[in-house]
Amino acid sequence: MGTEPKTLQEAIVYFSDPDNCLNYVVAKRWPNGVTCPTCGSTEVRFIPTRRLWECKAKHAKKQFSAKIGTVLEDSPIGLDKWLMTMWMVANCKNGVSSYEISRDCGVTQRTAWFMLHRVRDAMQERFSGKLSGEVEVDETFIGGKARNMHVGKRMRRITGTGGKDKTAVIGIVERGGKVRTAVVPNRKKSALQTEVRKHVEAGSALYSDALQSYNGLAGEYAHQVIDHAVAYVDGAVHTNTLENFWSLLKRGISGTYVSVEPFHLFRYLDEQAFRYNNRKATDAERFSATVEGIIGRRLTYEQVTGKLHAE
Ligand SMILES: [Zn+2]
């Protein structure tokens, strides 16, 4: 089996062996030994020729693969291509386009697009606890290339207040810690303050710009405002940590992805936030965290494309 890969080049070599791919995923999926996803039994038999397991108990769906119960479930794409895609998304600073994945892994662009969305789903943070200490909040607009889009696509775009064909996004970051992002309907008080209260512990130091929507948070937070019309930094009062995050995000979106529909924007935010929040980890650790993220999640094609959201 050899040692686990630490670089892209080692990953390519390592995951070209289907046994290494399977063993890597199995070790994460079933750290205490393979169990039947239907009945939980450990009485399972491995079928090497098919790389499947079969449960010895009497019930339907006796055979199962390592992809079951993960975002990869039902995917006909091999683990080798999945793992290489995860390696690249986890470790490419500005993200990877579906065209690059298509070329590098030998799948169609449409397949690569769907794979990327599933990987982003695996990267979505399961929020636990609130941000605290010194926290910055800021908003930005993403998008705005609707004029070049097909009419049908343009119809589906969200039109929030502020930038006409742009989508409003809020970012909240704990200095030295994690960032959290959300697509918001607008930059009004209720939309922004709801997110602040959801993600920031009361009593924290909170820094924002002079946008009126943040007025009224001083009762719960040590809220200090930097008026960007006057200065960008006043001692500890600034939102530079978020400014840096926004520039990373925008470089990825405009440079790598060209255009992102508002419905899918949260996934790109999740992807960029994941890399940011794991910025101190090694490539191998970020990859490992991504593979762990696939477990216990499902994402169907309908969910990705929003067909089930057409209410
Ligand atoms: Zn069973």
Dist CA 64 CA 68 (whole Å): 7
Ligand 1 centroid to Cα of residue 37, in Å, is 7
The answer to whether the Cα torsion of 284, 288, 290, 291 is positive or negative is positive
Ligand 1 centroid to Cα of residue 77, in Å, is 25
Dist CA 125 CA 127 (whole Å): 6
Q: How confident is the model at residue 264, as a pLDDT?
A: 85
Ligand 1 centroid to Cα of residue 59, in Å, is 7
Q: How confident is the model at residue 258, as a pLDDT?
A: 65
Nearest to 295 by CA among 20, 148, 39, 86: 86
Q: How confident is the model at residue 182, as a pLDDT?
A: 94
Ligand 1 centroid to Cα of residue 61, in Å, is 8
Ion ligand 1 nearby residues (CB, 5 A): 36, 38-39, 41, 55, 57
Ligand 1 centroid to Cα of residue 220, in Å, is 52
Ligand 1 centroid to Cα of residue 52, in Å, is 13
Ligand 1 centroid to Cα of residue 33, in Å, is 14
Ligand 1 centroid to Cα of residue 75, in Å, is 22
Q: How confident is the model at residue 311, as a pLDDT?
A: 31
Ligand 1 centroid to Cα of residue 116, in Å, is 31
Ligand 1 centroid to Cα of residue 174, in Å, is 45
Ligand 1 centroid to Cα of residue 70, in Å, is 18
Ligand 1 centroid to Cα of residue 53, in Å, is 10
Residues 6+ apart with CB under 8 A from 139: 168, 169, 170, 171, 184, 187, 192, 211
Ligand 1 centroid to Cα of residue 41, in Å, is 5
Question: Within 13 A of 24's CA, how many CA atoms are on the CB side?
Answer: 29
Tokens of 219: 């009762």
Nearest to 219 by CA among 235, 234, 204: 204
Strand partners, 182: 170
Is 86 in a helix, a strand, or coil? helix
Ligand 1 centroid to Cα of residue 80, in Å, is 27
162 and 168 Cβ atoms separated by less than 8 Å: yes
Tell me how far the alpha carbon of residue 218 is from its chain's centroid: 32
Tell me the Ramachandran region of residue 51: left when phi exceeds 0, alpha when psi lies from -120 to 50, beta otherwise: left
| 229-230-232 Cα angle (round to 5) | 90
Helix count and strand count (H, E) for the chain? 11, 8
Ligand 1 centroid to Cα of residue 267, in Å, is 34
Ligand 1 centroid to Cα of residue 259, in Å, is 45
Residue 12 φ then ψ, to 5°: -60, -45
pTM, 2 dp: 0.87
| pLDDT values of the chain reduced to their tens digit, one per residue, 311 residues | 568 999 999 999 999 999 999 999 999 999 999 999 999 999 999 999 999 999 999 999 899 999 998 999 889 999 999 999 999 999 998 899 999 999 999 999 999 999 999 999 999 988 889 999 999 999 999 876 544 444 444 444 443 334 567 889 999 999 999 999 999 999 999 999 999 999 999 999 999 999 999 999 999 999 999 998 888 889 999 999 999 999 999 888 877 776 677 788 889 999 999 999 999 999 999 999 999 999 977 766 677 676 654 33
Q: How confident is the model at residue 256, as a pLDDT?
A: 76
Q: How confident is the model at residue 157, as a pLDDT?
A: 47
Dist CA 301 CA 127 (whole Å): 24
Is 198 in a helix, a strand, or coil? helix
Ligand 1 centroid to Cα of residue 30, in Å, is 15
